[in-house]
């Protein structure tokens, strides 16, 4: 199965539920050759009783043990990543964090909306869909313009993840200017657009008619010259690794996607599994 470029363990991500051993065994069972573990690093998280940062030195010290475990059981190649949460005042600290360890991949994401995590945010659900999407994609465009030290922009549709209305999704036509700005920032810096299958899973659970990413989003990114795509399950549990990957791959191919990448040593690697699957 194709590489999974986004997931969390309970050892370094506060909301992770799987152990690294469970993760490795699950990926092995699915026949995934490369997995990137991308633990949460959200500085200045608004809920003071929850921390989404971890000890980077400890991570560096621990990661080879996980790699060894995987090697010993014939599991996947484990790549050391991080998911850094962006907020406008964190640019300098993000730069320091991204270069602190020899990461294989640095994912950049935005979880905070109007001062709160979208997971908790009430504002978000009260806003009309178009306005909500425009503001969020505009924020991602700004994030990608202001930061150079990252490889992948995560879950552009996170704004929709906890909206209960099954008719809701993120549509290109909600905010074409913001999408173009976001894509231009990614493409001009050679950064990747992530397709997050946890978002797909949430749409299925809601009974939405819009399960897959809006085809206009994918096509526009390609038309503008976007070539770098990654796929991530964003798994916090072992049974979510590689979730909906087969249908996602098939869907992306139908829209003209030619390659899917994973990151090793901060460099994109075209996954040979994409053309095989």
Contacts with Zn ion by CB under 5 A lie at: 83, 109, 234
Report the SS3 class of residue 151: coil
Closer residue to Zn ion (CB): 153 or 222: 153
182: Cβ contacts below 8 Å, ≥ 6 apart = 137, 138, 140, 141, 144, 153, 156
Q: What angle, 0 to 180 degrees and rounded to 10, lies between the N-to-C axes of helices 176-188 and 215-223?
A: 50
Instruction: Tell me how far apart the alpha carbons of residues 37 and 65 are, in angstroms, rounded to a whole number.
Output: 13
Q: Work out how close the CB of 107 gets to Zn ion at its nearest, in angstroms, rounded to a whole number.
A: 7
Asked whether 259 and 270 are in contact (CB, 8 A), the reply is: yes
Closer residue to Zn ion (CB): 83 or 178: 83
Q: Work out how close the CB of 275 gets to Zn ion at its nearest, in angstroms, rounded to a whole number.
A: 27
Asked whether 100 and 54 are in contact (CB, 8 A), the reply is: no
Q: Work out how close the CB of 6 gets to Zn ion at its nearest, in angstroms, rounded to a whole number.
A: 6
Q: Work out how close the CB of 225 gets to Zn ion at its nearest, in angstroms, rounded to a whole number.
A: 26
Closer residue to Zn ion (CB): 127 or 159: 159
Closer residue to Zn ion (CB): 104 or 222: 104
Closer residue to Zn ion (CB): 109 or 243: 109
Nearest to 202 by CA among 172, 179, 238, 170: 170
Q: Work out how close the CB of 118 gets to Zn ion at its nearest, in angstroms, rounded to a whole number.
A: 9
Closer residue to Zn ion (CB): 40 or 132: 40
Instruction: Tell me how far apart the alpha carbons of residues 238 and 45 are, in angstroms, rounded to a whole number.
Output: 26
Q: Work out how close the CB of 4 gets to Zn ion at its nearest, in angstroms, rounded to a whole number.
A: 12
Quick one: CA dihedral 196, 197, 198, 199, positive or negative? positive
Quick one: CA dihedral 121, 143, 235, 161, positive or negative? positive
Q: Work out how close the CB of 258 gets to Zn ion at its nearest, in angstroms, rounded to a whole number.
A: 26
219: Cβ contacts below 8 Å, ≥ 6 apart = 255, 256
Report the SS3 class of residue 4: strand
Q: Work out how close the CB of 276 gets to Zn ion at its nearest, in angstroms, rounded to a whole number.
A: 27
Backbone conformation region of residue 260, classed left if phi is above 0, alpha if psi is from -120 to 50, else beta: beta
Closer residue to Zn ion (CB): 169 or 196: 196
Asked whether 6 and 234 are in contact (CB, 8 A), the reply is: yes
Other Cβ atoms closer than 10 A to 204? 13
Closer residue to Zn ion (CB): 83 or 151: 83
């Amino acid at each position: 199965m194709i590489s999974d470029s986004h997931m969390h363990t309970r050892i370094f991500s506060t909301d992770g539920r799987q152990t690294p051993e469970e993760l490795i065994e699950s990926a092995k069972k699915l026949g995934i050759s490369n997995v990137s573990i991308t633990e949460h690093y959200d500085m200045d998280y608004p809920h003071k009783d929850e921390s989404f940062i971890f000890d980077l030195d400890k991570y560096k010290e621990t990661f080879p043990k996980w790699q060894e475990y995987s090697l010993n059981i014939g599991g996947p190649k484990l790549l050391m990543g991080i998911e850094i949460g962006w907020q406008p005042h964190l640019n300098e600290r993000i730069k320091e964090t991204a270069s602190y360890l020899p990461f294989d991949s640095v994912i950049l994401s935005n979880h905070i909306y109007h001062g709160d995590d979208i997971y908790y945010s009430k504002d978000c659900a009260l806003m009309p869909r178009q306005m909500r999407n425009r503001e969020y994609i505009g924020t991602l465009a700004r994030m990608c313009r202001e930061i150079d030290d990252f490889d992948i922009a995560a879950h552009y549709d996170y704004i929709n993840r906890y909206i209960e209305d099954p008719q809701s999704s993120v549509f290109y036509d909600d905010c074409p200017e913001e999408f173009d700005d976001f894509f231009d920032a990614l493409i001009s810096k050679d950064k990747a657009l992530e397709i997050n299958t946890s978002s797909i899973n949430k749409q299925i659970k809601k009974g939405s008619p819009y399960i897959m990413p809006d085809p206009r989003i994918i096509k526009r990114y390609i038309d503008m010259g976007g070539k770098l795509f990654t796929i991530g399950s964003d798994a916090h549990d072992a049974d979510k690794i590689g979730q909906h990957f087969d249908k996602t791959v098939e869907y992306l191919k139908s829209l003209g996607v030619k390659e899917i990448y994973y990151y090793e040593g901060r460099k994109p690697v075209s996954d040979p599994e994409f053309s095989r699957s």
